[in-house]
Structure 1
Amino acid sequence: MRLLIVLSIIFAHGACDIADYYAKRAKLAEAENLLTVGGNYPLDHKETIVNRCLMQHKYRELDYAFDNPQYFNCSHHFFVYKNKMRESKVYKIIKNMPKGAALHVHDMALLGPDYVMNLTYMDNLYFCFKPDPVLSGNHLFLQFANQLPNKTCDTWQLISDARRDAKNVTEFDFNLRKHFTLVVDDPDTAYPAITDTWDAFMNYFTTIIPLVTYRPVWEQYFYDALKKYREDNLMYIEVRSVLPNLYELDGSTYDQIVTAKSYKKVLSRFIKDYPDFEGAKIIFAPSRYVGNAELDAYIETARSLKNQVPEIFAGFDLVGQEDKGKPLIDFVPKLLQANDLNFFFHAGETDWYGTQTDGNLYDAILLGTKRIGHAYALTKHPLLMKEVVEKDIGLEINLISNSVLSLVKDLRNHPLNTYVANGMPVVLSSDDPGAWEAEPASDDFYVAFVGASSRLSDLSLLKALGENSLKYSALEPTRKAAALRKLNFQWKRFIDNFDCSKY
């Protein structure tokens, strides 16, 4: 009898301990979830119905990948799965979802190779090839002109003539298109190291620049880019631009202020045609491969932009491969004197730790940057992570860019998962989607949701990311508030019209 009493006490105590353990575990998990981006966004009844459909499809995808990891898209190179990804039901839901703003995109890679190929059917476009000293094969040079160009090449020819004389026009265009994209069938072989990827990336820009800076092309290109971004359910963008000198058929060129004013002119026309679009701003972002004299000229240009086109001027940045470019520390004396400008610095776009490259994060923060471009190395700097939270500095995350440009292969290892888990001020963008044939926003939202956030992250995360993209924009406070109201209206319409059976 005594033994039975003792055993009952033991089992009762054990059951109590187990129940207490599970309760503590559940409390920890709940508290941790509340810390995440969107973790404190309660879903209403209609949002809960949408979320149930979304998560059903997400769980199905991820559970299959968990059991068959070799087929998990986001563990491979983007070029391998980008087309297959778009068949996903999760992707299709995200595609139809309002996504707010793109705050980190570059002007020369807003649109993809198919659009660029159409430009090669325009009149007065000359081309030539010269051996490329860096990449195997030849480099393509392009120039719009009303007569044979007399620079760079001795073998200029009108593309229209070459296409007419080609034995196989389809093959001619197929080979020409390769120069307008980084996408290849076997990226691991084509780009074995980051230097190979960046060499091809820089080659892409030197090819594209003379094609799109012909003034009529430039203006139509930007208009069509705005249209494509709107079609991907974005309502506002901030474009980093080197402000290239535009030119005419006779070879005459314009200064950078004229380029900025062309942005303003096109934007006004676009908003007149599509009044639901909130707008765009430019971040003047010249090369970081310069000395202090060139930096002085950059700052002077930025101040001229601020004075002459204040409606569209957002601020200043320096761009280029950080590992090879000048670190911000070299420019600190000059930049401290330019505190009348808003900074949006690229910083920490590197795999390295303890170098001048990830050291850019210190200077970007101390210089008062409003946002940090990429911030890939930030997780290696815990005190700087605290500074980012305390100063509410937006982190411009570009997952596909980081994958394509050889920083990370498996997106489960991307630092975004840490930023999301800690509820940090994250905004998603797409960097140079035209160069790798990505959508303006949907592709990055999908890989963030499926590949670089928790399996349990749900509609609340997507909603928060959309709102963050406007919260951390360079819009003036009243416009920002209006844009957030517009986004909330679009979100409500998306929720109200959602039909799970369509997916």
Structure 2
Amino acid sequence: MDEWFSAFKAQATPAQLYGFLQHMPKGGDLHHHLTGSGFSHWWWDIATDEAHNGGYRYYTRTLAKLCNGYGTNAYGPMPEHLLFHTVQQSTYNALSDCKKSEYTALSDLTADQQSAFLDSIRLDKPYEGRNEFFETHWQRLGDLTRNPHVQAYLLLKNMQAYQLEQVTYLETQVNVKGMLYPDGSIMQAEQALQTIETMLASQAATDTGVTVRFQYALLRFLPDAEQQLRWIYAFVDAHRDRYVGINFVGREDNDKGYPLRFLPVLRELRQAYPAIALSIHAGEVDEPNHHVRDTLLLGAKRIGHGLNTISDPQTLLLMRHGPYLIEINLISNLLLEYVKDFTEHPFAEYLRTGIPVALSTDDRGMWDSTLTDEFYLAVTRFNLSWQELLALHRNSLQYAFIAEPAKRALIEHWQQQTAVFEQKQITHNTVYHPSQTGQFICRYAPKVCSLATGDKYE
């Protein structure tokens, strides 16, 4: 198969290579923010469908007036310039008349307003980057992220999309604390989780064949992050059938969330609870630091991004052939400007010096991308061999946090499917084309359309 794949890469068209990678049996997506994985049209479809979203009605800001006060939401002050910030009916009802006049019901948007709303929650302009992503995208979603019916819908859509990409396993970050009922009252976390579990038990979810487990995410720079972590630990411990780990998220260049801040509370919690796996964002910064090393000291088994690990030789040596995995997110790192082009990305160095890595999608809905896109970029920009492709898929299952019996079953299933796929290629030289429901990489031009030949945005 190695020789076949090498020859195939040399003569295949981009569409044929993409189709091949799309149909190839895949392992898992281990670095996946559920609310960042929703494509704009998925958000729109569920937000405007009160019959299926739990009976919630949503309004979004379409005007900016000089009303007295800014108002508040779950993220703090709402900047006056932030159009398309979205609230549910109960939040809208509590606004002043002036503030209400800034908002329009989603169902009443004009065609141009709808298009602008969809564009506002994806990174699709050459001048947009990490500040646009971190400081506006999540804030615009507003109350949409506090509806468990919306989260359940996004999860199902992801599972159905991954079925089409032959993905075996999804380990996604799902938070359920602070969800709202339509009247604005707080929903108990147990009730919110049950809403999502009901979807997962449905025939539609079962038909995808995708195994799903959750991580709970801690926003690391919150002033009460330690207390939040105590609650998360207790909740994950009580729901180990679904939750398999905890993740620390948020801009790493916000020093209020530095890793060693959490060492005392983690040591406290490990006195009280059986082990809970940690996969922590670290090394997603421009400058050298020891955050990855410090994150390993916290007990993390997987590192999210790990870009600047390349600048810490001692930690690199520690991670070679070791028990730790780096979750690589190529498109995310480029769009958020942590690398100018892929010649700066350390992925190949990690892969080819024995540091376990796996490809993942991060916030795929906001990039308008797929897991196949990540593999297409890896193959075309780093000339991956067949064995390296297999290692990436195997790692994404071997380093999953799911319980060992289920993990073994997933690996065996993937190996069987891969053997069949390989035989079809060698025997029949099957030609695959991108499915109509999939997206070729140039789908999200102008930014990434040129990635196969050059990575800089013009």
Q: Cα 1:136–1:89, aligned 2, differ >3 Å: closer, same or farther?
A: farther
Separation in 1, partners of 2:430, 2:361: 27
Select 2:267's aligned residue among 329, 333, 336. 336
Would you say 1:143 and 2:143 are equivalent positions?
A: no
Task: Tell me what 1:448 maps to.
Answer: 378
SS of the residue 1:200 aligns to:
helix
Task: Tell me what 1:42 maps to.
Answer: none
Separation in 1, partners of 2:242, 2:228: 20
How many Å apart are 1:254 and its aligned residue?
A: 1.2
Would you say 1:392 and 2:323 are equivalent positions?
A: yes
Within 5 Å, give how 1:108-257 maps onto structure 2: 108-123=35-50, 124-129=57-62, 131=64, 137-145=81-89, 149-151=93-95, 153-155=99-101, 156-160=103-107, 162-163=108-109, 166=110, 169=111, 171-184=112-125, 187=126, 190-191=127-128, 197-257=130-190
Separation in 1, partners of 2:372, 2:290: 31
Would you say 1:97 and 2:24 are equivalent positions?
A: yes
- Contact between 1:257 and 1:305, CA under 8 Å: does it hold in 2? no
Q: Which runs of 5+ in 1 are unaligned?
A: 1-46, 62-86
Q: Cα 1:52–1:214, aligned 2, differ >3 Å: closer, same or farther?
A: same
Select 1:494's aligned residue among 421, 431, 451. 421
Select 2:287's aligned residue among 332, 339, 352. 352
Separation in 2, partners of 1:435, 1:198: 14
Residue type of the alignment partner of 1:280 = V
Task: Tell me what 2:451 maps to.
Answer: none
Within 5 Å, give how 1:240-279 maps onto structure 2: 240-269=173-202, 273-274=206-207, 276-277=209-210, 279=211
Task: Tell me what 1:403 maps to.
Answer: 334
How many Å apart are 1:305 and its aligned residue?
A: 2.3
Q: Cα 1:239–1:502, aligned 2, differ >3 Å: closer, same or farther?
A: closer
Deviations 1:104-143 (A, max 9, x none): 0101111211222323533433222464999895422223
Separation in 2, partners of 1:105, 1:501: 30
Q: Cα 1:272–1:401, aligned 2, differ >3 Å: closer, same or farther?
A: closer
Deviations 1:155-214 (A, max 9, x none): 243232x33xx4xx3x23222222121112xx1xx13xxxx5234333111222422432
Separation in 1, partners of 2:424, 2:201: 31
Separation in 2, partners of 1:150, 1:383: 55
Separation in 2, partners of 1:237, 1:173: 31
- Contact between 1:223 and 1:270, CA under 8 Å: does it hold in 2? no
SS of the residue 1:345 aligns to:
strand
Separation in 2, partners of 1:50, 1:142: 51
Runs of 4+ in 1 over 6 A off after TM superposition: 132-136
- Contact between 1:282 and 1:313, CA under 8 Å: does it hold in 2? yes
Residue type of the alignment partner of 2:144 = L
How many Å apart are 1:52 and its aligned residue?
A: 4.3
SS of the residue 1:384 aligns to:
helix
How many Å apart are 1:477 and its aligned residue?
A: 1.3
How many Å apart are 1:48 and its aligned residue?
A: 4.3
- Contact between 1:50 and 1:500, CA under 8 Å: does it hold in 2? no
Name the Cα RMSD after superposition: 2.6
Further displaced range: 367-376 or 118-127:
118-127
Residue type of the alignment partner of 2:168 = M
How many Å apart are 1:344 and its aligned residue?
A: 1.1
Q: Cα 1:382–1:222, aligned 2, differ >3 Å: closer, same or farther?
A: same
- Contact between 1:129 and 1:138, CA under 8 Å: does it hold in 2? no
SS of the residue 2:176 aligns to:
coil
Task: Tell me what 1:288 maps to.
Answer: 220
Task: Tell me what 2:8 maps to.
Answer: 54
- Contact between 1:245 and 1:259, CA under 8 Å: does it hold in 2? no
How many Å apart are 1:410 and its aligned residue?
A: 1.2
Residue type of the alignment partner of 1:447 = L
Matched residues, percent identical? 21
Would you say 1:368 and 2:309 are equivalent positions?
A: no
Deviations 1:251-270 (A, max 9, x none): 23313343334343332326
TM-score w.r.t. structure 1 length?
0.74
Separation in 2, partners of 1:114, 1:487: 31
- Contact between 2:424 and 2:430, CA under 8 Å: does it hold in 1? no
Q: Cα 1:500–1:217, aligned 2, differ >3 Å: closer, same or farther?
A: same
How many Å apart are 1:244 and its aligned residue?
A: 4.7
Residue type of the alignment partner of 1:449 = V
Separation in 1, partners of 2:200, 2:291: 33
Task: Tell me what 1:482 maps to.
Answer: 409
Separation in 2, partners of 1:281, 1:229: 14
Q: Cα 1:206–1:134, aligned 2, differ >3 Å: closer, same or farther?
A: closer
Number of residue-to-residue matches in the alignment: 405
How many Å apart are 1:412 and its aligned residue?
A: 2.5
TM-score w.r.t. structure 2 length?
0.81
Residue type of the alignment partner of 2:220 = R
Within 5 Å, give how 1:31-46 maps onto structure 2: none
Select 1:321's aligned residue among 240, 247, 251. 251
Separation in 1, partners of 2:280, 2:91: 41
- Contact between 2:159 and 2:208, CA under 8 Å: does it hold in 1? no
Task: Tell me what 1:35 maps to.
Answer: none
Q: Cα 1:300–1:174, aligned 2, differ >3 Å: closer, same or farther?
A: closer
Residue type of the alignment partner of 2:100 = D
Q: Cα 1:361–1:272, aligned 2, differ >3 Å: closer, same or farther?
A: closer
